[in-house]
Amino acid sequence: MVRKIIWSPEAIDTYISIIEYLEKEWTEREVRNFMLRVHEKLGILSQQPLIGRLSSKKRNNYRTLINKHTTLVYHYKPIKKEIELVSFWNNAQDPRKLKF
């Protein structure tokens, strides 16, 4: 069963800031690779929403790696059959600041 994926405003903002950083500091190849990995991960999540690691901070929040530098935080709503993307997290940041 395919679940609907919804982007929160914060997920959009953090995704765009990662893209902008990659465009400024890296090559177009890294930008494409990141976007492709996100697209692939969303395809997997829509089919298997429980593949992420359950967050200890909020109920039904999960974390999954996009790559070694970025984690996707998402909220699974099983009754509505929806996955809400909460935020993209830079793994170099202090994990204690992660509020999800």
- Burial grade of 10 (CB within 10 A; 0-12, 13-18, 19 or more): middle
43 assigned to some structural domain: yes
CATH number at residue 85: 3.30.2310.20
11 assigned to some structural domain: yes
80 assigned to some structural domain: yes
The residue written with tokens 């009754």 in the block is 79
98 band by pLDDT with thresholds 50, 70 and 90:
low
99 assigned to some structural domain: no
Greater model confidence, 60 or 23: 23
21 assigned to some structural domain: yes
**pLDDT of 92:** 85
79 assigned to some structural domain: yes
The residue written with tokens 């800031």 in the block is 17
Contact 53, 62 (CB under 8 A): yes
CB count within 10 Å of CB 70 equals: 19
pLDDT above 80 for 87: yes
56 assigned to some structural domain: yes
Domain count along the chain: 1
User: Residue 37: which domain range?
Assistant: 4-92
| pLDDT tens digits, one per residue of 27-86 | 999 999 999 999 999 999 999 999 999 987 788 899 999 999 999 999 999 999 999 999
84 assigned to some structural domain: yes
The crossing angle, in degrees rounded to 10, of helices 9-25 and 28-47 is 150
- Residue 59 is classified by DSSP as T
Greater model confidence, 8 or 95: 8
